[in-house]
Structure 1
Amino acid sequence: MTPSLCYLSMLYVSLITYVKIQVSGQICPKSIPFALLSINSGLISEKYLLFDLLLRFIFYIYSKFPGLPVFYALSENCWSISQTLDGVNRVSVIVKAMKALSHPDQWQMENADLNRAIQDTLVISRNEYKYVAEVETDLDPGLPFVPCYLSALNQVFLNVIVNAAHAIRDANGNGSEKRGRITVKTRREGNEAVIRISDTGAGIPEKIRHRIFEPFFTTKGVGKGTGQGLSIAHSVVTQKHGGTITFETEAGKGTTFIVRLPLGHRES
């Protein structure tokens, strides 16, 4: 190895060691509450930019001198660290969404960004739909903030999205590789914010449609559902927000739940 290459190698090793120490020294132990991970992710992301530069450096050198074992080892090591940081950043997104959805006071009125609330809810509910459906969002960028009890509305969106995922899973068969689609749209229509959540499940049978919002009504097996989700959603939307929640359904094609919320709140 030439002196210049040897120097570059030593420089890289020094840099990578320094960054490892900087990152590992600021990561909280796993026993510390999960919410603190969002703090660590910020610290790590500062180092991530340096890792990116290091990655570019090592792959450039290795492309020029592919036969050098030291650079092969370093490139593999750096790539592994990069993948780990990507994973941490993904977890951080989930942590931030969980923080946004959890609220110390469920009945505290605030002007909220419903587009952001829906995006956070989709992050949290991903495990329910990731194997059964693709998710498509069409969120109105001009939707104004809506006066609402945000924590309670988050639960409404969560219940409807989870129900949509279960409807698709049941329609396609548990374990099926066939994937459905969940579509979430927001619009301003007159003096209302309108949220539509659609699925490509089997639709709601006509004989039970009138019971969908009844407390404790469920079509799921014992232990798989309490029948409270849509009942609570109906109560939150209609009684607490003066809005409406309805649905449109077609056998074999799916269901769309439609939530309408007044932009000027009126609690009944």
Structure 2
Amino acid sequence: MSIDSFLIAFLLIRHLRKFAQNTGLAPFWDRTLLRAQYAALALLVVDVIIDEDHVFQWAWHVFLLGLLWFVYPRPEFRPTRNIVSAVFPLVLVNIVVDFIELVAPAFDKKYNNYFDMAQLLAFGWVIAAWVSTQRQQKALEKERQKRLEEEERNRLIAAQNTQLESMVAERTAELVRQKEELEETLTELRATQAQLIQQEKMASLGELTAGIAHEIQNPLNFVNNFAEVSVELCQELNDELAKVDLSDSDRDYVGGIISDLVQNQQKIAHHGKRADSIVKGMLQHSRAGSGRKEPTDLNSLADEYLRLAYHGLRAKDKNFNASLVADLNENVGKVDVLPQDMGRVLLNLFTNAFYAVQQKQKRNPDAQYQPTVTVSTNRCDEDVEIRVRDNGVGIPDSVRSKIFQPFFTTKPTGEGTGLGLSLAFDIITKGHGGTMEVETEEGKGTEFIIRIPV
């Protein structure tokens, strides 16, 4: 029985199968080597059962040579050539020894010790090659494991770096967002402060206006009442005059005087009522609003404040005259707004418009220029539109984007606080949910467009 040949074949096949599995070769090779392993086991069983040593010795030689011849030229098994090459001498020595024993038994017996020594050396060479191969494989496996650990470490470091960069980016974005929120809050606080200052000024002015209006109201009531009583007295005097016997000339003379007195008293009563209306308007304007929206006739409100702003400027400059154009659409009707706040907006826009045309007139005193301020209203599908247009000096492009900022003004120092348009913009956008836009051309005029949802 050739147990040594079986062990060599079995170990060699096992080594080749392990190599094929570790290197990921095609499953074909593993199946082929497994079949070779089964064939070696089958040959060993037959060798044990049939006691024909010489026959099976040559069968093992053929099996080993066939295995070596099949594996050695394959490029897939190139890394295993070291161990395969080491098996070749052992197989060749065994073949030579068995051949000599078969054809020259006497020679084999005489030099048997040398043949055994050759077989032992060949077998030792296989063992040495096997040990060397195992060491190389362990070294390669250790190097591969080290490389895998290094790759895993690098992957973890890269993942941590990515995570850190992501955290830094998120933190940076959060800081930028907080900075922007703080800046926005600061801007809102400044705007609120400016509005509070303006509201305090308006409240003080309202109290002053209310006090003056009340003081004027009392003597004005006496003027109106006595004017009406005087008209009635003149009518009674006329009636009594008809009962007195006078000449025609005297009767006409006295009647003319009485008629003149009636006309004068009627004029006093008319202008007294007009003054009373103005005083009531001042009281209403100075009265603090309820904070609730009320149905308001925007056409009447716009017309009232247009004339109030005009007469306010004429009170300062008697030589100033302008054309007032009111194109008010009756379809506008009543709209839910804050009347006092909307009045402040319109008064501010009209005052600015009259100031603009006045400045243009002063710059071109000899030109054929007619100052004109126009207010128009219109009702669209979802909002009401108010337009205030003038043909004044216009707004330069360099400051157009700043006109709604608090404390910004184009007027000389002392003539404007820079809070009017800012307050008007906030009243329209924040108080009424509308929009306020401006269209202007320097030297030709400006138009403010207010849209309020209904």
Residues 100 and 143 of structure 1: is their aligned pair in 2 closer, same or farther, counting only changes over 3 Å? farther
> Where does residue 170 of structure 2 map in the other structure?
none
> Match of 1:88?
272
Which residue matches 2:344? 155
The Cα of 1:86 is off from its aligned counterpart by 2.5
Structure 1 position 169 matched with structure 2 position 369? no
Alignment check: 8 A CA contact 1:133 1:179 kept: yes
Q: Which secondary structure does the structure 1 equivalent of 2:399 belong to?
A: helix
Distance in 1 of aligned mates of 2:451 and 2:344: 15
Of 275, 282, 285, the residue aligned with 1:101 is: 285
- Number of matched residues? 227
More strand by share: 1
TM superposition score normalised by structure 2: 0.44
AA at the equivalent of 2:269: L
* Match of residue 263 from structure 2: 79
Give the corresponding residue for 2:401. 210
Structure 1 unaligned segments of length 5 or more: list them: 1-29, 58-63, 264-268
User: Which AA in structure 2 matches 1:33?
Assistant: E
- Which amino acid is 2:276 matched to? S
Match of 2:438 among 244, 247, 261: 247
Choose which of 124, 130, 139 in structure 1 pairs with 2:328.
139
- Cα deviation, residue 39, structure 1: 6.4
**Post-superposition shift, 1:226?**
0.5
Asked if the contact 2:231/2:265 (under 8 Å) is kept, the reply is no
Task: Determine the structure 2 residue equivalent to 1:124.
Answer: 308
For 2:424 and 2:214, the matched residues in 1 are separated by 34
Q: CA deviation at 1:219?
A: 1.2
Q: Distance in 2 between matches of 1:107 and 1:98?
A: 19
**Does the aligned pair in 2 maintain the 1:185–1:196 contact within 8 Å?**
yes
| Structure 2 counterpart of 1:33 | 215
8 Å CA contact 1:213–1:231 kept in 2: the answer is: yes
Aligned-pair CA distance for 1:262:
0.6
1:46 Cα deviation from its structure 2 partner: 6.5
**In 1, are the aligned partners of 2:213 and 2:283 still within 8 Å (CA)?**
no
Which amino acid counterpart does residue 451 of structure 2 have in structure 1? R
What is the distance in 2 between the residues matched to 1:189 and 1:198? Answer: 19
Whole-angstrom distance in 2 between the partners of 1:152 and 1:107: 9
Query: Which amino acid in 1 is paired with 2:382?
Result: N
Q: Matched residues in 2 for 1:117 and 1:167: separation? A: 22
- Measure how far apart 1:111 and its partner are: 2.3
Deviations along 1:31-83, whole A, 9 cap, x unmatched? 953355786788579769869989x99xxxxxx96994323433333333233
Which residue in 2 is equivalent to 1:114? Answer: 298
Q: CA deviation at 1:85?
A: 2.0
Shift of 1:245: 0.7
Helix, strand or coil at the partner of 1:261: strand
SS of equivalent to 1:87: helix
**Paired position in structure 2 for 1:220:** 411
Alignment partner, residue 198 of structure 1? 389
Larger radius of gyration: 2
CA distance in 1, matches of 2:441, 2:234: 50
Which of the pair is proportionally richer in helix?
2
Q: Distance in 2 between matches of 1:176 and 1:89?
A: 37
The CA deviation at 1:179 is: 4.2
1:94 alignment partner, SS class: helix
CA contact (8 A) 2:213 2:279 kept: no
Identity of aligned residues (%): 30
* 1:98 alignment partner AA: M
Equivalent residue, structure 2, for 1:236: 427
Q: CA deviation at 1:96?
A: 3.2
CA-to-partner distance for each residue in 1:202-233, whole Å, 9 max, x for gaps?
A: 21112111111111111111111101100100
More contact order relative to length (CA 8 Å, sep ≥ 6): 1
Give the equivalent residue in structure 2 for 1:260: 451
Offset at residue 240 of structure 1 (A): 1.2
Gaps of at least 5 residues in structure 2 are 1-211, 240-247, 315-319
Moved more, 112-121 or 236-245: 112-121
Distance 1:111 1:124, change over 3 A: same
Q: What's the Cα RMSD here?
A: 3.5
Query: Counterpart amino acid of 1:151?
Result: Q
Q: Which amino acid aligns with 1:192?
A: D
Residue type of the alignment partner of 2:353: A
Distance 1:31 1:240, change over 3 A: closer
Describe the shift of the 1:128–1:70 C-alpha distance in structure 2 as closer, same or farther (beyond 3 A): same
